Amino acid sequence: MRLKDKVALITGGSKGVGAATAKLFGREGAAVAVVDLDAEKGAKLCEEISAGGGAAAFFQADVADRIGVKAMVESVMARYNRIDILVNNAGIIRDAMLVKMMPEQWDAVLAVNLTGVFNCTQAIVPLMIQQGGGRILCASSVVGVYGNIGQTNYVASKAGVIGMVKVWAKELGRKGITVNAVTPGFIATDMTASLPSKVIDLMKDRTPLGRLGTPEDVAHAYLFLASDEASFITGAVLSVDGGLIP
């Protein structure tokens, strides 16, 4: 087991990539703290992980709420007494063209996707420093590198995540903490399932491997970066996009 005796906190952990990561980490020996707003899905996922022989517990929190994040981290520490891995996976979209984007659409996406990553990381890093090390993994996106029409807010948030990862890798390396980003391409989630078949086909056509990625594809990238095999990798941006971006 690659994560035996580790404690992993995963935000946005109740569905999609977050759920796939929680299941995989559980199978690999980690005790998983599943963090999400959706208590029903989160609790059900933890039951599934536990039924499969893993260890998991649900913690409800809004990553954009700084006080709520602090309370959540305290609850995780009270249960597990340590946090070895943080996966900043929570994210939302509120798409619109620039001229039609409302301030509340901008604010909501930046609050969760960027400030939420800051809140969770800042709350957990002091604990990792005391422990002598840790792994921080952050969900960005290929659009955070190359842009995308109609996603000014989302692209800004995901580009910002990459920037923070670069800074934190430099600041925290000597503390034994690695910080890396994953940039998924077109991934088959609940979000893409609601898209018209023409759009899905276009996504596949644009991807050299000829298919959408799965949540498990991203989860395995997280697993590698969380494992001992990646102990000399920090400040990296790992694309999981089927060759979409050369």
Amino acid identity of residue 66, one-letter, is R
Q: What are 9's strand-pairing partners?
A: 33, 86
* Identified catalytic residue from 80, 146, 154, 222: 154
User: Is 222 labeled as catalytic in the residue annotation?
Assistant: no
Report whether 57 contacts 5 (CB < 8 A). Answer: no
**Spatial distance between the Cα atoms of 124 and 138, rounded to a whole number of angstroms:** 14
CA angle 152, 88, 101 (to 5 degrees): 15
So which residues are the catalytic ones? 154
